[in-house]
Amino acid sequence: MKKSYHHGDLKQTLVGTLYELVNSEPLEHLTVRFLTDRLGVSRTAIYRHFPSKEALFSAVVQKAFDALEAALAEVAVEQDPLQRLHGLGGAYLDFALHYPRHYRLMMNDQWRVYREHGCSDCEDKRKGGAFEIVIDACRAAQAAGALREEDALTQATAFWAMVHGIASLTIDGHLPEEEMGALYESLFRMSCEGMCR
Amino acid sequence: MKKSYHHGDLKQTLVGTLYELVNSEPLEHLTVRFLTDRLGVSRTAIYRHFPSKEALFSAVVQKAFDALEAALAEVAVEQDPLQRLHGLGGAYLDFALHYPRHYRLMMNDQWRVYREHGCSDCEDKRKGGAFEIVIDACRAAQAAGALREEDALTQATAFWAMVHGIASLTIDGHLPEEEMGALYESLFRMSCEGMCR
DNA sequence: ACCTGAACACCGTTCAAGT
DNA sequence: ACCTGAACACCGTTCAAGT
Protein backbone atom coordinates (compact mmCIF):
# COMPACT_ATOMS: atom_id res chain seq x y z
CA MET A 1 0.00 0.00 0.00
CA LYS A 2 1.58 3.22 -1.14
CA LYS A 3 0.52 6.78 -0.73
CA SER A 4 -0.75 7.59 -4.19
CA TYR A 5 -1.84 10.77 -5.85
CA HIS A 6 -5.35 9.53 -6.24
CA HIS A 7 -6.73 8.68 -2.85
CA GLY A 8 -9.11 6.09 -4.17
CA ASP A 9 -12.13 6.59 -1.99
CA LEU A 10 -11.63 10.00 -0.48
CA LYS A 11 -15.34 10.77 -0.23
CA GLN A 12 -16.11 7.85 2.06
CA THR A 13 -12.85 8.34 3.97
CA LEU A 14 -13.77 11.97 4.66
CA VAL A 15 -17.17 11.03 6.07
CA GLY A 16 -15.83 8.06 8.06
CA THR A 17 -12.90 9.94 9.56
CA LEU A 18 -15.03 12.95 10.45
CA TYR A 19 -17.60 10.65 12.01
CA GLU A 20 -14.90 9.22 14.29
CA LEU A 21 -13.41 12.64 15.04
CA VAL A 22 -16.76 13.92 16.27
CA ASN A 23 -16.37 11.45 19.13
CA SER A 24 -13.01 12.70 20.29
CA GLU A 25 -12.86 16.35 19.34
CA PRO A 26 -15.10 19.27 20.30
CA LEU A 27 -17.05 20.59 17.36
CA GLU A 28 -15.10 23.85 17.11
CA HIS A 29 -11.87 21.90 16.47
CA LEU A 30 -13.36 20.14 13.48
CA THR A 31 -12.21 22.56 10.80
CA VAL A 32 -11.61 21.64 7.19
CA ARG A 33 -7.89 22.09 7.80
CA PHE A 34 -7.88 19.79 10.83
CA LEU A 35 -9.62 17.03 8.91
CA THR A 36 -7.59 17.29 5.70
CA ASP A 37 -4.28 17.55 7.56
CA ARG A 38 -5.11 14.36 9.42
CA LEU A 39 -5.82 12.64 6.10
CA GLY A 40 -2.74 14.06 4.40
CA VAL A 41 -4.66 15.70 1.59
CA SER A 42 -4.86 19.32 0.60
CA ARG A 43 -7.23 21.72 2.37
CA THR A 44 -9.40 22.01 -0.67
CA ALA A 45 -9.75 18.31 -1.45
CA ILE A 46 -13.20 18.13 0.11
CA TYR A 47 -14.66 20.36 -2.61
CA ARG A 48 -14.22 17.62 -5.22
CA HIS A 49 -16.79 15.56 -3.29
CA PHE A 50 -18.96 18.01 -1.37
CA PRO A 51 -20.20 21.49 -2.25
CA SER A 52 -19.38 22.76 1.24
CA LYS A 53 -18.24 21.85 4.72
CA GLU A 54 -21.89 21.88 5.72
CA ALA A 55 -22.75 19.22 3.13
CA LEU A 56 -19.92 17.03 4.39
CA PHE A 57 -21.22 17.36 7.93
CA SER A 58 -24.74 16.51 6.84
CA ALA A 59 -23.40 13.23 5.43
CA VAL A 60 -21.94 12.53 8.88
CA VAL A 61 -25.34 13.33 10.40
CA GLN A 62 -26.99 10.84 8.05
CA LYS A 63 -24.49 8.19 9.15
CA ALA A 64 -25.32 8.96 12.79
CA PHE A 65 -29.04 8.51 12.11
CA ASP A 66 -28.25 5.15 10.55
CA ALA A 67 -26.27 4.18 13.67
CA LEU A 68 -29.16 5.16 15.93
CA GLU A 69 -31.59 3.19 13.79
CA ALA A 70 -29.31 0.15 14.02
CA ALA A 71 -29.12 0.50 17.81
CA LEU A 72 -32.90 0.65 18.06
CA ALA A 73 -33.38 -2.28 15.67
CA GLU A 74 -31.13 -4.35 17.91
CA VAL A 75 -33.41 -4.02 20.94
CA ALA A 76 -36.64 -4.14 18.89
CA VAL A 77 -36.53 -7.94 18.91
CA GLU A 78 -37.93 -7.98 22.46
CA GLN A 79 -41.30 -9.75 22.35
CA ASP A 80 -43.19 -8.21 25.26
CA PRO A 81 -44.49 -5.00 23.68
CA LEU A 82 -44.28 -2.73 26.72
CA GLN A 83 -40.80 -4.06 27.51
CA ARG A 84 -39.88 -3.41 23.89
CA LEU A 85 -40.99 0.21 24.15
CA HIS A 86 -39.07 0.54 27.39
CA GLY A 87 -35.97 -0.94 25.78
CA LEU A 88 -36.22 1.36 22.77
CA GLY A 89 -36.22 4.41 25.03
CA GLY A 90 -33.27 3.02 26.95
CA ALA A 91 -31.27 2.38 23.79
CA TYR A 92 -32.09 5.87 22.54
CA LEU A 93 -30.82 7.42 25.77
CA ASP A 94 -27.69 5.24 25.71
CA PHE A 95 -26.93 6.46 22.21
CA ALA A 96 -27.38 10.12 23.20
CA LEU A 97 -25.24 9.70 26.30
CA HIS A 98 -22.42 7.80 24.57
CA TYR A 99 -22.38 9.98 21.46
CA PRO A 100 -23.53 13.38 22.69
CA ARG A 101 -21.78 15.33 19.94
CA HIS A 102 -23.30 13.12 17.27
CA TYR A 103 -26.67 13.49 18.91
CA ARG A 104 -26.44 17.28 19.01
CA LEU A 105 -25.37 17.30 15.39
CA MET A 106 -28.32 15.11 14.42
CA MET A 107 -30.82 17.37 16.11
CA ASN A 108 -29.28 20.66 14.98
CA ASP A 109 -31.57 22.72 12.77
CA GLN A 110 -28.57 23.59 10.59
CA TRP A 111 -29.14 20.46 8.46
CA ARG A 112 -32.83 21.14 7.93
CA VAL A 113 -32.26 21.92 4.26
CA TYR A 114 -30.40 18.63 3.78
CA ARG A 115 -33.07 16.65 5.63
CA GLU A 116 -35.76 18.17 3.44
CA HIS A 117 -33.74 17.73 0.28
CA GLY A 118 -32.82 14.16 1.15
CA CYS A 119 -36.32 12.69 1.03
CA SER A 120 -39.35 13.55 -1.04
CA ASP A 121 -41.98 14.52 1.51
CA CYS A 122 -40.51 14.75 4.99
CA GLU A 123 -41.39 18.01 6.67
CA ASP A 124 -40.83 16.02 9.81
CA LYS A 125 -38.26 13.40 10.63
CA ARG A 126 -40.89 10.86 11.69
CA LYS A 127 -40.82 9.29 8.25
CA GLY A 128 -37.38 7.86 9.03
CA GLY A 129 -36.76 4.20 9.80
CA ALA A 130 -35.88 4.77 13.45
CA PHE A 131 -39.27 6.30 14.13
CA GLU A 132 -41.10 3.51 12.32
CA ILE A 133 -39.66 1.10 14.86
CA VAL A 134 -41.26 3.08 17.68
CA ILE A 135 -44.63 3.29 15.92
CA ASP A 136 -44.56 -0.46 15.34
CA ALA A 137 -43.88 -1.01 19.05
CA CYS A 138 -46.86 1.19 19.94
CA ARG A 139 -49.12 -0.70 17.53
CA ALA A 140 -47.95 -4.02 18.93
CA ALA A 141 -48.54 -2.81 22.49
CA GLN A 142 -52.05 -1.72 21.52
CA ALA A 143 -52.78 -5.10 19.93
CA ALA A 144 -51.55 -6.84 23.07
CA GLY A 145 -53.86 -4.67 25.17
CA ALA A 146 -50.98 -3.00 27.00
CA LEU A 147 -51.49 0.48 25.53
CA ARG A 148 -54.68 2.47 25.07
CA GLU A 149 -56.05 2.40 21.56
CA GLU A 150 -55.25 5.88 20.40
CA ASP A 151 -53.43 7.20 17.35
CA ALA A 152 -50.15 5.27 17.34
CA LEU A 153 -48.33 8.13 15.61
CA THR A 154 -49.29 10.49 18.41
CA GLN A 155 -48.28 7.96 21.04
CA ALA A 156 -44.92 7.39 19.36
CA THR A 157 -44.37 11.14 19.02
CA ALA A 158 -45.19 11.59 22.70
CA PHE A 159 -42.68 8.89 23.56
CA TRP A 160 -40.04 10.46 21.34
CA ALA A 161 -40.59 13.95 22.78
CA MET A 162 -40.25 12.58 26.31
CA VAL A 163 -37.09 10.63 25.61
CA HIS A 164 -35.54 13.42 23.55
CA GLY A 165 -36.35 15.85 26.33
CA ILE A 166 -34.47 13.74 28.87
CA ALA A 167 -31.54 13.14 26.51
CA SER A 168 -31.24 16.73 25.36
CA LEU A 169 -31.48 18.36 28.80
CA THR A 170 -28.99 15.87 30.20
CA ILE A 171 -26.25 16.07 27.57
CA ASP A 172 -26.48 19.86 27.53
CA GLY A 173 -25.89 20.00 31.26
CA HIS A 174 -29.32 21.05 32.51
CA LEU A 175 -29.92 17.79 34.36
CA PRO A 176 -27.29 15.73 36.19
CA GLU A 177 -26.03 12.87 34.03
CA GLU A 178 -26.04 10.29 36.81
CA GLU A 179 -29.76 10.76 37.38
CA MET A 180 -30.77 10.17 33.76
CA GLY A 181 -31.50 6.47 34.21
CA ALA A 182 -33.67 6.96 37.27
CA LEU A 183 -35.46 9.87 35.62
CA TYR A 184 -36.28 7.69 32.61
CA GLU A 185 -37.73 5.00 34.87
CA SER A 186 -39.88 7.56 36.66
CA LEU A 187 -41.12 9.13 33.44
CA PHE A 188 -41.86 5.81 31.81
CA ARG A 189 -43.93 4.75 34.80
CA MET A 190 -45.68 8.12 35.02
CA SER A 191 -46.61 8.24 31.36
CA CYS A 192 -47.89 4.72 31.64
CA GLU A 193 -49.92 5.05 34.82
CA GLY A 194 -50.74 8.75 34.54
CA MET A 195 -49.79 11.57 36.87
CA CYS A 196 -53.29 12.71 37.78
CA ARG A 197 -55.60 11.06 40.19
CA MET B 1 -27.65 64.06 23.23
CA LYS B 2 -24.35 63.98 21.39
CA LYS B 3 -22.18 61.16 20.26
CA SER B 4 -19.44 61.24 22.83
CA TYR B 5 -16.19 59.46 23.17
CA HIS B 6 -17.34 57.68 26.26
CA HIS B 7 -20.42 55.67 25.44
CA GLY B 8 -21.73 55.85 28.96
CA ASP B 9 -23.34 52.47 29.36
CA LEU B 10 -21.76 50.39 26.66
CA LYS B 11 -21.93 47.15 28.63
CA GLN B 12 -25.69 47.17 28.98
CA THR B 13 -26.11 48.49 25.44
CA LEU B 14 -24.05 45.59 24.08
CA VAL B 15 -26.18 43.00 25.86
CA GLY B 16 -29.47 44.72 25.02
CA THR B 17 -28.66 45.24 21.34
CA LEU B 18 -27.36 41.70 20.93
CA TYR B 19 -30.47 40.36 22.66
CA GLU B 20 -32.61 42.13 20.07
CA LEU B 21 -30.40 41.12 17.16
CA VAL B 22 -30.75 37.44 18.08
CA ASN B 23 -34.41 37.82 17.10
CA SER B 24 -33.78 39.13 13.63
CA GLU B 25 -30.44 37.70 12.55
CA PRO B 26 -29.26 34.12 12.21
CA LEU B 27 -26.63 33.22 14.76
CA GLU B 28 -23.78 33.05 12.24
CA HIS B 29 -24.31 36.71 11.32
CA LEU B 30 -23.85 37.83 14.90
CA THR B 31 -20.14 38.53 14.77
CA VAL B 32 -18.33 40.98 16.98
CA ARG B 33 -17.85 43.22 13.93
CA PHE B 34 -21.55 43.16 13.04
CA LEU B 35 -22.54 44.18 16.55
CA THR B 36 -19.92 46.86 17.08
CA ASP B 37 -20.47 48.36 13.62
CA ARG B 38 -24.18 48.66 14.38
CA LEU B 39 -23.35 50.45 17.63
CA GLY B 40 -20.71 52.70 16.05
CA VAL B 41 -17.92 51.59 18.34
CA SER B 42 -14.66 49.94 17.54
CA ARG B 43 -14.42 46.19 17.00
CA THR B 44 -12.50 45.73 20.19
CA ALA B 45 -14.74 47.76 22.46
CA ILE B 46 -16.43 44.66 23.87
CA TYR B 47 -13.19 43.55 25.56
CA ARG B 48 -13.41 46.45 28.02
CA HIS B 49 -16.56 44.85 29.43
CA PHE B 50 -16.37 41.13 28.66
CA PRO B 51 -13.42 38.75 28.54
CA SER B 52 -14.68 37.20 25.30
CA LYS B 53 -17.50 37.05 22.79
CA GLU B 54 -18.68 33.93 24.59
CA ALA B 55 -19.03 35.79 27.89
CA LEU B 56 -21.06 38.51 26.17
CA PHE B 57 -23.38 35.88 24.71
CA SER B 58 -23.78 34.21 28.08
CA ALA B 59 -25.05 37.53 29.45
CA VAL B 60 -27.64 37.50 26.65
CA VAL B 61 -28.57 33.95 27.63
CA GLN B 62 -29.07 35.06 31.24
CA LYS B 63 -31.37 37.83 30.02
CA ALA B 64 -33.35 35.27 28.01
CA PHE B 65 -33.78 33.05 31.08
CA ASP B 66 -35.10 36.09 32.95
CA ALA B 67 -37.58 36.74 30.13
CA LEU B 68 -38.79 33.13 30.23
CA GLU B 69 -39.19 33.30 33.98
CA ALA B 70 -41.23 36.49 33.62
CA ALA B 71 -43.46 34.85 31.00
CA LEU B 72 -44.07 31.88 33.30
CA ALA B 73 -44.69 34.08 36.32
CA GLU B 74 -47.39 35.90 34.34
CA VAL B 75 -49.50 32.77 33.86
CA ALA B 76 -48.70 31.32 37.30
CA VAL B 77 -51.49 33.42 38.83
CA GLU B 78 -54.07 30.90 37.58
CA GLN B 79 -55.80 29.41 40.61
CA ASP B 80 -56.89 25.97 39.42
CA PRO B 81 -53.68 23.98 39.89
CA LEU B 82 -54.00 21.65 36.91
CA GLN B 83 -54.97 24.59 34.70
CA ARG B 84 -51.96 26.44 36.04
CA LEU B 85 -49.64 23.60 35.07
CA HIS B 86 -51.27 23.47 31.66
CA GLY B 87 -50.82 27.22 31.24
CA LEU B 88 -47.17 27.07 32.29
CA GLY B 89 -46.42 24.49 29.59
CA GLY B 90 -48.29 26.58 27.04
CA ALA B 91 -46.37 29.74 27.95
CA TYR B 92 -43.10 27.82 27.78
CA LEU B 93 -43.91 26.56 24.29
CA ASP B 94 -44.99 30.03 23.18
CA PHE B 95 -41.67 31.42 24.31
CA ALA B 96 -39.70 28.74 22.44
CA LEU B 97 -41.76 29.20 19.29
CA HIS B 98 -41.59 33.02 19.30
CA TYR B 99 -37.93 33.22 20.27
CA PRO B 100 -36.41 30.03 18.83
CA ARG B 101 -32.89 31.47 18.55
CA HIS B 102 -32.97 32.65 22.14
CA TYR B 103 -34.30 29.28 23.21
CA ARG B 104 -31.53 27.38 21.37
CA LEU B 105 -28.97 29.70 22.90
CA MET B 106 -30.37 29.12 26.39
CA MET B 107 -30.21 25.35 26.03
CA ASN B 108 -26.82 25.22 24.32
CA ASP B 109 -24.17 23.39 26.34
CA GLN B 110 -21.65 26.06 25.32
CA TRP B 111 -22.60 28.19 28.34
CA ARG B 112 -22.30 25.36 30.83
CA VAL B 113 -19.21 26.91 32.38
CA TYR B 114 -21.03 30.22 32.84
CA ARG B 115 -24.10 28.52 34.31
CA GLU B 116 -21.92 26.68 36.81
CA HIS B 117 -19.86 29.74 37.58
CA GLY B 118 -22.90 31.95 37.95
CA CYS B 119 -24.43 30.23 40.96
CA SER B 120 -22.92 28.43 43.92
CA ASP B 121 -24.27 24.90 43.66
CA CYS B 122 -26.17 24.37 40.44
CA GLU B 123 -25.05 21.27 38.62
CA ASP B 124 -28.50 21.40 37.12
CA LYS B 125 -30.60 24.34 36.03
CA ARG B 126 -33.53 23.28 38.22
CA LYS B 127 -32.41 25.64 40.97
CA GLY B 128 -33.46 28.57 38.79
CA GLY B 129 -36.55 30.64 39.46
CA ALA B 130 -38.44 29.44 36.38
CA PHE B 131 -38.28 25.86 37.54
CA GLU B 132 -39.39 26.75 41.06
CA ILE B 133 -42.64 28.02 39.57
CA VAL B 134 -43.30 24.60 38.05
CA ILE B 135 -42.47 22.76 41.28
CA ASP B 136 -44.84 25.04 43.18
CA ALA B 137 -47.59 24.27 40.66
CA CYS B 138 -47.00 20.54 41.16
CA ARG B 139 -47.13 20.89 44.94
CA ALA B 140 -50.34 22.94 44.72
CA ALA B 141 -51.89 20.35 42.40
CA GLN B 142 -50.97 17.59 44.85
CA ALA B 143 -52.48 19.53 47.75
CA ALA B 144 -55.66 20.03 45.73
CA GLY B 145 -55.82 16.29 45.05
CA ALA B 146 -55.38 16.75 41.29
CA LEU B 147 -51.93 15.15 41.06
CA ARG B 148 -50.64 11.94 42.61
CA GLU B 149 -48.58 12.46 45.73
CA GLU B 150 -45.12 11.71 44.42
CA ASP B 151 -41.86 13.62 44.55
CA ALA B 152 -42.78 17.06 43.20
CA LEU B 153 -39.28 17.61 41.86
CA THR B 154 -39.54 14.47 39.75
CA GLN B 155 -42.99 15.44 38.53
CA ALA B 156 -41.79 18.92 37.59
CA THR B 157 -38.73 17.48 35.85
CA ALA B 158 -40.96 15.08 33.92
CA PHE B 159 -43.13 18.00 32.86
CA TRP B 160 -40.10 20.03 31.84
CA ALA B 161 -38.60 17.18 29.82
CA MET B 162 -41.88 16.66 27.99
CA VAL B 163 -42.38 20.31 27.16
CA HIS B 164 -38.74 20.86 26.24
CA GLY B 165 -38.92 17.78 24.01
CA ILE B 166 -41.87 19.21 22.10
CA ALA B 167 -40.30 22.66 21.87
CA SER B 168 -36.86 21.48 20.86
CA LEU B 169 -37.98 18.98 18.21
CA THR B 170 -40.36 21.53 16.75
CA ILE B 171 -38.09 24.56 16.49
CA ASP B 172 -35.31 22.42 15.03
CA GLY B 173 -37.59 21.16 12.28
CA HIS B 174 -38.15 17.56 13.34
CA LEU B 175 -41.84 18.07 13.99
CA PRO B 176 -44.19 20.32 11.99
CA GLU B 177 -44.67 23.68 13.68
CA GLU B 178 -48.41 23.87 13.06
CA GLU B 179 -49.00 20.64 14.99
CA MET B 180 -47.18 21.75 18.13
CA GLY B 181 -50.28 23.00 19.90
CA ALA B 182 -52.28 19.85 19.25
CA LEU B 183 -49.32 17.68 20.23
CA TYR B 184 -49.05 19.50 23.54
CA GLU B 185 -52.75 18.90 24.26
CA SER B 186 -52.36 15.20 23.49
CA LEU B 187 -49.27 14.83 25.64
CA PHE B 188 -50.74 16.74 28.53
CA ARG B 189 -53.80 14.53 28.51
CA MET B 190 -51.73 11.35 28.11
CA SER B 191 -49.36 12.16 30.94
CA CYS B 192 -52.34 12.97 33.11
CA GLU B 193 -54.50 9.95 32.34
CA GLY B 194 -51.72 7.51 31.50
CA MET B 195 -51.04 5.73 28.23
CA CYS B 196 -51.33 2.16 29.50
CA ARG B 197 -54.49 0.30 30.26
C1' DA C 1 -11.12 54.72 32.88
C1' DC C 2 -12.45 53.92 28.29
C1' DC C 3 -11.87 53.36 23.42
C1' DT C 4 -9.14 52.90 18.90
C1' DG C 5 -6.34 50.95 14.87
C1' DA C 6 -3.05 48.02 13.28
C1' DA C 7 -1.68 43.46 13.51
C1' DC C 8 -1.99 38.29 14.26
C1' DA C 9 -3.40 33.72 13.76
C1' DC C 10 -7.15 31.63 12.39
C1' DC C 11 -11.41 30.24 9.21
C1' DG C 12 -14.17 28.41 4.64
C1' DT C 13 -13.93 28.82 -0.12
C1' DT C 14 -12.32 30.16 -5.19
C1' DC C 15 -9.74 29.20 -9.02
C1' DA C 16 -6.01 28.61 -12.16
C1' DA C 17 -2.67 25.20 -12.53
C1' DG C 18 -0.63 20.70 -12.16
C1' DT C 19 -0.76 15.21 -12.88
C1' DA D 1 -11.01 12.78 -13.19
C1' DC D 2 -8.77 14.21 -9.16
C1' DC D 3 -5.84 17.01 -6.31
C1' DT D 4 -2.79 21.20 -5.14
C1' DG D 5 -1.13 26.00 -3.74
C1' DA D 6 -1.74 30.64 -3.70
C1' DA D 7 -5.04 33.98 -2.82
C1' DC D 8 -9.38 36.18 -0.88
C1' DA D 9 -12.63 37.78 2.32
C1' DC D 10 -13.79 36.75 6.54
C1' DC D 11 -13.33 35.72 11.93
C1' DG D 12 -12.04 36.57 17.35
C1' DT D 13 -8.53 38.53 19.96
C1' DT D 14 -4.00 41.18 21.49
C1' DC D 15 -1.72 45.19 22.43
C1' DA D 16 0.51 49.53 22.18
C1' DA D 17 -1.26 53.96 21.63
C1' DG D 18 -4.49 57.70 21.98
C1' DT D 19 -8.06 60.81 24.84
Instruction: Judge if A97 and A33 occupy the same domain.
Output: no
Among protein residues, the one whose C-alpha sits closest to the C1' atom of C2 is B6
Would you say residue B174 lies in a domain? yes
Is A114 near strand C, with its CB below 7 A from some atom of it? Answer: no
Chain B environment of A161 (Cβ under 8 Å): 162, 165-166, 169, 175, 183, 187
Contact B174, A124 (CB under 8 A): yes
**What local confidence, expressed as pLDDT, does residue A166 receive?**
98
Domain range spanning residue B179?
A: 60-195
Contact B56, B19 (CB under 8 A): no
Instruction: Judge if B82 and B179 occupy the same domain.
Output: yes
Regions of chain A with pLDDT less than 50: 1-4, 120-121
Would you say residue B54 lies in a domain? no
Q: Which nucleotides on strand C sit less than 7 A from a protein beta carbon?
A: 2-7, 10-15, 19
The CATH number of whichever domain residue A89 belongs to comes to 1.10.357.10
Query: Is A123 in Cβ contact with B174 (below 8 Å)?
Result: no
pLDDT in tens, chain B (197 residues): 334 455 678 899 999 999 999 999 999 999 999 999 999 999 999 999 999 999 999 999 999 999 999 999 999 999 999 999 999 999 999 999 999 999 999 999 998 888 776 654 455 556 568 999 999 999 999 999 999 999 999 999 999 999 999 999 999 999 999 999 999 999 999 999 999 97
**What 3-state DSSP class applies to A26?**
coil
Would you say residue B55 lies in a domain? no
Residue B146 to residue B82: CA distance in whole angstroms: 7
Could you tell me the pTM of the whole model? 0.93
Instruction: Judge if B121 and B149 occupy the same domain.
Output: yes
Among protein residues, the one whose C-alpha sits closest to the C1' atom of D14 is B44
Would you say residue A91 lies in a domain? yes
pLDDT in tens, A101-110: 999 999 999 9
Neighbours of B61 (CB within 10 A): 22
Is B174 near strand C, with its CB below 7 A from some atom of it? Answer: no
Residue spans of alpha helices (H) in B99-173: 100-107, 112-118, 129-143, 152-171
Instruction: Judge if A108 and A127 occupy the same domain.
Output: yes
**Percentage of chain A lying above the pLDDT 70 cut:** 90
DSSP string of B43-59, one letter each residue: TTGGGGT-SSHHHHHHH
pLDDT in tens, B140-175: 999 999 999 999 999 999 999 999 999 999 999 999
Instruction: Judge if A85 and A136 occupy the same domain.
Output: yes
Instruction: Judge if A70 and A29 occupy the same domain.
Output: no
Mean residue pLDDT of chain B comes to: 91
Would you say residue A151 lies in a domain? yes
**A180 to each of A72, A166, A170, B10, how far by Cα in Å?**
18, 7, 7, 42
- What is the count of structural domains for chain A? 2
Contact A175, B124 (CB under 8 A): yes
Instruction: Judge if B35 and B84 occupy the same domain.
Output: no
pLDDT in tens, A115-136: 777 654 455 556 568 999 999 9
Would you say residue B183 lies in a domain? yes
Residue B90's identity, in one-letter code, is G
Distance from CA of B85 to the nearest CA of A (A): 12
Q: Gap from A150 CA to D11 C1', in Å?
A: 52
Among protein residues, the one whose C-alpha sits closest to the C1' atom of D19 is B5
Query: Is B125 in Cβ contact with A158 (below 8 Å)?
Result: no
Q: Which nucleotides on strand D sit less than 7 A from a protein beta carbon?
A: 2-7, 10-15, 19
